[in-house]
Amino acid sequence: MNESGKGSVKTTGDRLAFNGVKVFSATMAPDRDQLGEKVTAWIRQHPQFKVADTIVTQSSDEAFHCLAITLFYWEELPEKK
């Protein structure tokens, strides 16, 4: 994000503004299996946020597999005086 607290992500063609990021991650298999439901529940609990983009990342080493879902969203903020 830049100094104004706003950023943008490039999707297929358009740049969508965002001013918030939420990261969900899990390393244990049962937690990874439930990660999508956790993200969906969070989105439903925050209807005021407009999701601008989503990035899914997987990383692994010899012992662990990590799944991360990163949401970039826009939240209308009160105007500063």
DSSP string for residues in the chain: --TTS-EEEE-SS-EEEESEEEEEEE-SHHHHHHHHHHHHHHHHH-TTEEEEEEEEEEEE-SS-EEEEEEEEEEE--PPP-
Average pLDDT, the chain: 84
pLDDT at 11: 54
Number of folded domains in the chain? 1
Residue 80 lies in a domain: no
Residue 80 has pLDDT above 60, yes or no: yes
81 domain-assigned: no
35 is in which domain, residue-wise?
7-75
In a domain, 21, yes or no: yes
> What per-residue confidence (pLDDT) applies to 15?
65
